[in-house]
Amino acid sequence: MSAHRKTVTVCSCPGCTQRGAAAVREALEHAVVTHELGGQVEVLAGDCGGLCGIGPVIQVPGEGVIYQGLKAQDAAKIVKEHLAGGAPIERLRYAGPGAPESVPLESEHPFTKDQLFWVMRNKGLIDPEQIDEYIARDGYFGLAKALTGMTPERIVEEVLASGLRGRGGAGFPTGMKWKFAAGSQSDVKYVLCNADEGDPGAFMDRSVLEADPHSVIEGMIIAARAIGAREGYIYCRTEYPLAIHRLNVAIAAARDYGLLGTDILGTGFDFDLEIYEGAGAFVCGEETALMASIEGRRGMPRPRPPFPAHQGLWKKPSILNNVETLANIAQIILNGGAWYAALGTEKSKGTKVFALSGKVKNIGLVEVPMGTSLRSIVYDIGGGVPNKKKFKAVQLGGPSGGCVPEAHLDTVVDYEEIAKVGAIMGSGGMIVMDETTCMVDMARYFMDFIQDESCGKCTPCREGTRRMLEILQAICAGKGELEDIEKLEALSEVIRESSLCGLGQTGPNPVLSTLRYFRDEYEAHIREKRCPAKRCTALLEFRVDAALCKKCGLCFKACPSKAIAWERKQPAVIDTAKCVKCMSCFEVCPASSIF
Amino acid sequence: MPKVTVNDLKLIRERTLPTLCLASCKEGAKITMHMGTCGVAAGAVPVMEALKDELSIAGRDDIRVVVSACGGMCSSEPNVTVELQGQAPVVYQHMDASRMRQVFRRHVLRGEVQTAFALMRQAAFGSQGGGK
Instruction: Give the per-residue pLDDT at B128.
Output: 45
Q: Is the pLDDT of residue A185 over 70?
A: yes
Per-residue pLDDT reduced to its tens digit, A243-270: 999 999 999 999 999 999 999 999 999 9
According to DSSP, the residues that pair with A42 across neighbouring strands are A7
> Per the CB < 8 Å rule, is B115 touching A112?
no
Mean pLDDT, residues B57-66 taken together:
92
Mean pLDDT, residues A11-19 taken together:
84
Residue B132 pLDDT level (bands cut at 50, 70, 90):
very low
Residue A149 pLDDT level (bands cut at 50, 70, 90):
very high
Q: How far apart are the first and last CA of chain B?
A: 30
Alpha-carbon distance of A323 to A197, in angstroms, equals: 9
Nearest CB neighbour to A258, from listed B4, B40, B123: B4
Residue A55 pLDDT level (bands cut at 50, 70, 90):
confident
Q: To the nearest whole angstrom, how far is the Cα of B31 from the nearest Cα of chain A?
A: 11
| Residue B93 at interface with chain A, using a CB cutoff of 8 Å | no
Per-residue pLDDT reduced to its tens digit, A469-497: 999 999 999 999 999 999 999 999 999 99
Residue B14 pLDDT level (bands cut at 50, 70, 90):
very high
Query: How many Cβ contacts (< 8 angstroms) between chains A and B?
Result: 225
> Per the CB < 8 Å rule, is B38 touching A266?
no
Alpha-carbon distance of B16 to B9, in angstroms, equals: 10
Nearest C-alpha in B relative to A118: B130
Q: Is the pLDDT of residue A59 over 70?
A: yes
Per-residue pLDDT reduced to its tens digit, A516-569: 999 999 999 999 999 999 889 889 888 888 888 988 999 999 999 999 999 988
Top mean-pLDDT range of A132-136, A201-205, B72-76: A132-136
Q: Is the pLDDT of residue A1 over 50?
A: no
Q: Residue-wise over B51-74: b if at least 16 C-beta within 10 A, else e?
A: bebbbeeeeeeebeebbbbbbbbb
Asked whether this complex has an ipTM greater than 0.95, the answer is no
Nearest C-alpha in A relative to B16: A136
Nearest CB neighbour to A265, from listed B6, B70, B71: B6
> Per the CB < 8 Å rule, is A18 touching B98?
yes
Q: To the nearest whole angstrom, how far is the Cα of B62 from the nearest Cα of chain A?
A: 18
Task: Compare A584 and A292 and report the one with higher pLDDT.
Answer: A292
List of chain B residues whose C-beta atoms are within 8 Å of the C-beta of residue A144? 6, 9
Residue A194 pLDDT level (bands cut at 50, 70, 90):
very high
> Per the CB < 8 Å rule, is B72 touching A365?
yes
Instruction: Give the per-residue pLDDT at A3.
Output: 57
CB A43 within 8 A of CB A80: no
> Per the CB < 8 Å rule, is A211 touching B36?
yes
Nearest CB neighbour to A364, from listed B15, B73, B101: B73
Nearest C-alpha in A relative to B13: A136
SS3 A280: coil
Per-residue pLDDT reduced to its tens digit, A162-180: 999 999 888 999 999 999 9
> Per the CB < 8 Å rule, is B112 touching A331?
no
> Per the CB < 8 Å rule, is B36 touching A100?
no
Q: To the nearest whole angstrom, how far is the Cα of A24 from the nearest Cα of chain B?
A: 17
Task: Compare A595 and A443 and report the one with higher pLDDT.
Answer: A443
Q: Is the pLDDT of residue B2 over 70?
A: no
Q: What H or E segment, with its residue span, contains residue A423?
A: none
